[in-house]
């Protein structure tokens, strides 16, 4: 019976390497997203003299939004690998930021990133409000407030959990 238990434990521990497939998929998606970002940047650069101030601000917000999404993907990839698969072989390279990405801090950072992305999206809606009806603006605001409340609750719970350790 003990040998069966050891075999099950080995299989479960080895299965964490399946996560690498998902993380490599995220890395590939990040590459595709980078190409999409460059395309959007080229369109903005092409219209530098024809875009109005409001259109330029909306374009910049969209690019900031893209950067935040890309950062979120990188954060999830690094933290997931470090926490669930294997420690990074630092090989003399300074990767001091890796130590700060534990499961608790990752939740807070992901929630904060989602709030920031939602904030930018909501700001884009407000700046372009003539193209939206009041109901869509109301629902976008409600969803944003739900993200803010969730982030605050996660932060509070993480604070409670860190005091209990």
Whether residue 13 is contained in a domain is answered as no
The mean pLDDT value for 30-48 works out to: 95
| Mean pLDDT within 74-91 | 81
Tokens 């395309």 appear where?
Answer: 39
CA distance 142 to 135: 10
Answer whether residue 20 shows pLDDT above 60.
Answer: yes
> For residue 4, is it within any domain?
no
Domain assignment present for residue 117? The answer is: yes
Question: Residue 162: what pLDDT?
Answer: 78
Domain range for 90 is 22-164
The domain total for the chain is 1
82 in a structural domain: yes
Joined tokens for residue 32: 């595709």
The model's confidence at residue 102, banded by pLDDT at 50, 70 and 90, is low
Rounded to two decimals, the pTM is 0.75
pLDDT of residue 17 exceeding 90, the answer is yes
The pair of structure tokens assigned to 130 is 């003539």
Angle subtended at Cα 116 by Cα 52 and Cα 38, rounded to the nearest 5 degrees: 55
């Amino acid at each position: 019976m003990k040998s069966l238990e050891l075999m099950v434990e080995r299989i479960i521990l080895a299965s964490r390497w399946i996560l690498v497939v998902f993380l490599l998929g995220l890395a590939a998606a990040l590459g595709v997203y980078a190409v999409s970002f460059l395309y959007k940047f080229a369109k903005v650069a092409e219209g530098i003299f024809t875009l109005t101030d409001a259109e330029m601000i909306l374009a910049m917000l969209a690019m900031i939004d893209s950067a935040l999404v890309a950062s979120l993907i990188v954060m999830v990839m690094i933290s997931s690998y470090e926490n669930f698969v294997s420690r990074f072989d630092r090989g003399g390279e300074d990767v001091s930021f890796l130590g700060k990405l534990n499961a608790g801090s990752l939740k807070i950072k992901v929630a904060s990133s989602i709030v920031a992305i939602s904030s930018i999206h909501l700001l884009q809606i407000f700046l372009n409000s003539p193209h939206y009806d009041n109901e869509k603006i109301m629902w976008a605001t409600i969803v944003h407030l739900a993200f803010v409340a969730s982030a605050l609750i996660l932060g509070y719970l993480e604070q409670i959990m860190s005091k209990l350790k």
